[in-house]
Amino acid sequence: MDIETVNSLSYEEFIELFGGVVERCPLAAAAVWSRRPFGCVSDVEAGIGEFIDSLSESGKEGLVRCHPDLAGRELASGTLTAESQREQEGAGLASLQAEEAAQIAGLNREYKQRFGFPFVICARTSDKAAILQQLQQRLRNLRSQELLHAVQEIKKICHLRLQDLLHRAPPKL
């Protein structure tokens, strides 16, 4: 999709197309739409990154809380967003053995108790072994470190989701 197409999208079309790049936070796309016209497609990503960076600590925590547990109830029930479903399936989280699922569920609970928000990792750049290792390792972080780490992972997810959108055929308007 070229920048002219992106710039020509109405507010509603822009939100429909880009509203899922930050998990369950179409507000990020809404905040960026007002920056049009974009000079290049990377300006869209930069704008979303700046929006995220401008959030207060509690706003960033809220953004992290929009993310589902990895290999959690939503994956099992099929209620994840389409993007999360593909990402978790691609990382092998939809085909865990019972022991692996129990281990990840226990670590997810421990993580949420410790930090107050779910564990976030860019599943598309990981597999289940790496996710399990990161969950165990990141449990040792300070809360402030972990919030920063989670936000960086959200930006990685956003980058990949934007690349998917911007490199596919333009929407029919």
- CATH of residue 92's domain is 1.10.3330.10
Return all residues near 100 (Cβ < 8 A) that are at least 6 apart.
128, 132
Task: Spell out the per-residue pLDDT of the chain, length 173, in tens.
Answer: 899 999 999 999 999 999 999 999 999 999 999 999 999 989 999 999 999 999 999 999 999 999 999 999 999 899 999 999 999 999 999 999 999 999 999 999 999 999 999 999 999 999 999 999 999 999 999 999 999 999 999 999 999 999 999 887 555 65
* Structural domain includes residue 115: yes
Query: Which residues span the domain enclosing 130?
Result: 68-156
Domains held by the chain: number:
2
Q: Kindly state whether residues 73 and 58 are assigned to the same domain.
A: no
DSSP output for 80-149:
S-HHHHHHHHHTTGGG--HHHHHHHHHHHHHHHHHHSS-----GGG--HHHHHHHHHHHTTS-HHHHHHH
- Residue 117 located in a structural domain: yes
What is the spatial distance between Cα 154 and Cα 94, in angstroms, rounded to a whole number? Answer: 21
Residue 119, in any domain of the structure:
yes
- Which amino acids are annotated catalytic? 67
